[in-house]
Amino acid sequence: MSSPTDYTPPKVWTWIKTTEGRFANINRPIAGPTHDKELPVGRHPFQLYSLGTPNGQKITIMFEELLALGHKGAEYDAWLVKIGEGEQFGSGFVAVNPNSKIPALLDRSGPKPIRIFESGAMLLYLAEKFGAFLPKDAATRAECLSWLFWQMGSAPYLGGGFGHFYAYAPSKIQYAIDRFAMETKRQLDVLDRRLAESPYLAGPDYTIADIAVWPWYGGLAKGLLYGAGEFLAVEEYKNVQRWADLIGARLAVKRGRIVNRMQGDPKAQLRERHDASDFELRTQDKLETTS
């Protein structure tokens, strides 16, 4: 193992600004807005301010699933928030999400807009509002919510832990990578054991638990996160692979995962979504051709 650096924490931590690391320009130890900027508002009942990260994908997949079921009231505008440029610290965004993290959601279908922040809260809110993807049976509902909250508690170890030190940290620290790789593989094993006994996480039916978990762990299983598929030997988790393929084949998932996306194949980037026709007319490859 590589030797640790000689570092003794001070009695009181102080923030030393640095340019090291991918997110150094936006990281800070305080909350609140850094600048005044109102949020745009479209014509649909729901206004989503997001980016096509796993957390953002949860909500766009949910909206596309609801629309596929015929819930016209789930129409939404998806506005792009460039977190690398600090747009999440604008005053309008902070008013919707005081935590300054994407996604942020406004339900404008009633007389007074309702804000929802945290992706798990959004999934639960939408499931209850439209009566979809949330079991009614008490035991199955409890199983669904348990896996939903498992994801909310577990993903920081995958993203902020493993992903950060494996892919984004300015230097490779073996202890940190080993620590979070171990935890990530343990979580994959938790999922694999559950999916050995059930088609979906909550039971026989697809629910918000699957919608929450798939962008993170399904993406990891298919080699879509951090370029770490081989490193984590994701092919070992056969039940996760089966489940990831099953969900990934859904049309609503294919649509939802490209909304607010800024990386990869231009055909798989719909940077903003304001109408269902945008999937055919306004993906980045088409916009670049006409510009």
For residue range 44-91, what is the model confidence (pLDDT) as tens digits? 999 999 999 999 999 999 999 999 999 999 999 999 999 999 999 999
Residue ranges in the chain assigned as alpha helix (H) = 54-68, 91-96, 119-130, 138-156, 174-197, 208-213, 219-221, 238-248, 251-256, 278-281, 284-290
Find where tokens 């393929």 sit.
Answer: 245
pLDDT band at 181 (very low <50, low <70, confident <90, very high): very high
Q: Residue range 219-245: average pLDDT?
A: 97
pLDDT at 21 over 80: no
For the chain, how far is it from start to end, CA to CA, in angstroms?
52
Which is nearest to 83 in space by CA: 56, 50, 114, 60? 50
pLDDT score at 235? 97
Residue-level pLDDT at 4: 56
Alpha carbon 245 to chain centroid, angstroms: 18
Give pTM, 2 decimals.
0.95
Q: Do 132 and 63 touch, CB atoms closer than 8 A?
A: no
- For the chain, what's the residue count? 291
Q: Is the pLDDT of residue 107 over 60?
A: yes
Backbone φ and ψ of 79, nearest 5°:
-95, 135
Separation between Cα atoms, residue 244 and residue 222, nearest integer Å:
7
Q: What tokens appear for 254 in the block?
A: 């294919």
